[in-house]
Chains A and B, each alone.
Chain A
């Protein structure tokens, strides 16, 4: 005897489903606004303390007075890009860790939301959240320094940041895998991976100063190209033509990392479902 197939409910629009994650993150952010102020202040103090090293270097004669603004800008870009990158990665891994602790991850994963919509929805919030926080730190830092911004190519900076952010989304999704599998150790491992990216990407120095074997690692970090692109546009006034190569590399990173991270998350989710790791912990 034939068995009739049950009519499934119509699949909702992906944008509407993705909005659920954006809205949830916004609601969580509202409840923790005091922490947001703390992180903003911490980010500002961190940025100032690192960038003042340029003043010290000029005062002690390590660099000439003429080179000081360039060093200031170099360090400022490094701290801001690092603040941006770490905020995106933290947002993703902390959210998944939180979902594990609260046990809501089971309800999220059993819902009909496609995984790509779930993760991209979270990432979009993470990127915008990090961008707003970093912009505020930049705005508050500017009065402390005399910066030569005439000739800076802001258009190129914008393109580098937008294209580079796609690869950060990929890294963010990868960073979310570990806390899904191991809530506590996963967060620890995630911080270690971030530390490695900090070391090899030339955040506060040029990657040329690294030992040869570490320079090799810098090639596979998208942060290396993001930093180089922004520094070239702001310090060397590089135009779109000069930046095309770096933008292309960042685009390749984004095009590769986003699908790869989604595939990796899918494998991890399947393994978690095989071994029963999604059960609430905490």
Chain B
């Protein structure tokens, strides 16, 4: 609240968010031309809030609805029901106002692969209104902090490793100085060193720039290390929410806290392990 008694809008307010997909089944001869569809609820009434400067973790297995959630927040997917407000702006009705305020790192570093890292960053910086010299200066600083030098920046993205590409994706997201950053499994598939570099850069960015972060992951130790609060997403529903310590206490049931990991919390609160959720998704 400010001095005039007015409440500052929260970085993120999600209310009763629901998204259902119609999934085509494999064609069968007897079904004729029309391929039968099944309905899958990717998100079923998800609600939560993220406070200024907070790192909020959304934990769940593959297929639990994490990426759907991030896509809706990024204005790339329209929800069927519910609402999303980013700093008070409605992400559906006021998408144009929301877009300059956020940026995203996806699990898959999508780039124009034949172009160099710097050419890609130039494009993605310019579409957020940055000038060429500003992009070059900021990119060089962020890439250097992530352990990539000028040589890497001039290489076509095709020649960079998966970890290096993901670091360029992190640089792309930070270039526009977003107020809200959506990190969708940013460290999945990275080697331990790259993972550590990205994680420490994220912590540093929150500390130095005050950026609010929503982090989705299925890495329990990453969530515990980085997040102020976490929410467990299972089959499209937010089944629990709290600080890592609160959640561990919740399921400790007399056991010493150091014996209770986030994986145990997940199993206790969702009734299944993260691997079970992943296997079910693959089978489905």
Contacts and interface: CB of A to CB of B under 8 A. Distances in A.
Contacts of A10: 129
A230 to B, nearest CB: 35
Interface string A249-282: 0000000000000000000001001111011100
A278 B22 CA distance: 15
B77 A1 contact: no
B258 to A, nearest CB: 40
Contacts of B137: none
B113 interface: yes
B124 A111 contact: yes
Contacts of B115: 24, 27-28, 31
Given A19-B126, A20-B127, A104 B114 contact: no
B129 A16 contact: yes
B77 A3 contact: no
B110 A104 contact: yes
A110 B114 contact: no
Contacts of A21: 123
A148 interface: no
Nearest to B177: A9
Nearest to A31: B114
B106 interface: yes
A31 B180 CA distance: 34
Contacts of A19: 126
A276 B69 CA distance: 12
SS class, residues of chain B in contact with chain A: loop
B18 interface: no
A113 B126 CA distance: 10
B124 A1 contact: no
Interface size class of B (residues with CB under 8 A): 35 or more
Counting chain A CB atoms within 10 Å of each CB, which of B1, B7, B111, B114 scores highest? B114
Given A4-B8, A112-B129, A106 B87 contact: no
Contact of B7 (A1, A11, A27, A276): A1
B99 A23 contact: no
A11 B129 CA distance: 7
A103 B127 contact: no
A205 B212 CA distance: 63
Contacts of A276: 21, 68, 71, 77
B2 A4 contact: yes
B75 interface: yes
B269 interface: no
A118 B74 CA distance: 18
Interface in B50-97: 68, 71, 74-78, 87-89, 96-97
B44 to A, nearest CB: 16
Nearest to A118: B127
Interface of A: 1-6, 8-12, 16-17, 19-21, 23-24, 27-28, 31-32, 98, 102-104, 106-114, 118, 270, 273-276, 278-280
Interface of B: 1-2, 5-9, 21-22, 68, 71, 74-78, 87-89, 96-97, 99-102, 104, 106, 108, 110-115, 119, 122-124, 126-129, 131, 156, 172, 179
Task: For the complex of A and B, list the 4 residue pairs with the smallest distance between their C-beta atoms, beginning with the closest.
Answer: A12-B129, A103-B110, A20-B126, A6-B87
